[in-house]
Amino acid sequence: MKVILNDDVKHVGEMGDVKNVAMGYFRNYLFPRGLAVPCTDEALAYFETKKEEIEARKEQKRKDSASLKEKLEALEIKLEMPAGSNGKLFGAVTSVTLMNFYAQNGYEIERKKIEIAGSSIKTVGNFTAKVHLYEGSVAEVKVVVTGQVSEETKKQEAKKAAAEKKEAKEEAPAEEKAE
């Protein structure tokens, strides 16, 4: 069924677009919520009169997307996560983690728009994530993950170092006696 969208609808289209959708989708979802109307000559004429307004709205979205892209690419994400001595994180950095970081810095970005290679980061290091913006615009952001060593891990490493030092001292006199 051909419809004209009254508003932006995810995965379907934007305001003023003429789209083919399933009859049930239109009848049960789009029409009751006022998101679309059947494609008739009257509806087409109405949207032709609003065409300039719709284009101005789309152009504003493009400009906002471009400026947001510049801001996101300039911002380096620095995360300190609990990690072991080998650099492996206790947990992972996911799109939700990045969404929360952006929310704390005043940006409202949906979790679904953030893409991390391999779906999550599980080690310490430098990574790149993608944030999908309006009309295929993609911002590539830098993510720096550093390890945060817990007190318990520090104690274990200190014990291990002390044991190795003790072994080295015990082996040194034994070597001197052998000579």
pLDDT tens digits, residue range 60-114?
888 888 888 888 888 888 888 888 878 888 888 888 988 898 888 888 888 888 8
Which of 71, 114, 69, 82 minimizes the C-alpha distance to 95?
114
Q: Is the pTM of this model over 0.85?
A: no
For residue 24, the model assigns a pLDDT of 94
Q: How confident is the model at residue 27 (pLDDT cuts 50, 70, 90)?
A: very high
CA atoms of 150 and 91, how far apart (whole Å): 14
Q: What contacts 65, CB < 8 A, 6 or more positions away?
A: 133, 134, 135, 137
**In this model, does residue 18 exceed pLDDT 70?**
yes
Which of 120, 65, 48 minimizes the C-alpha distance to 91?
120
Provide the edge-to-edge strand list for the sheet that holds 138-148: 77-82, 138-148, 125-132, 114-116
Q: Does residue 117 or residue 178 have the better pLDDT?
A: 117
For residue 157, the model assigns a pLDDT of 67
Token pair 């006022």: residue = 34
Question: Tell me: the pLDDT tens digits for 124-178?
Answer: 888 888 888 877 788 888 988 888 765 665 666 677 777 777 777 776 555 555 5
**In this model, does residue 32 exceed pLDDT 90?**
yes
For residue 176, the model assigns a pLDDT of 53
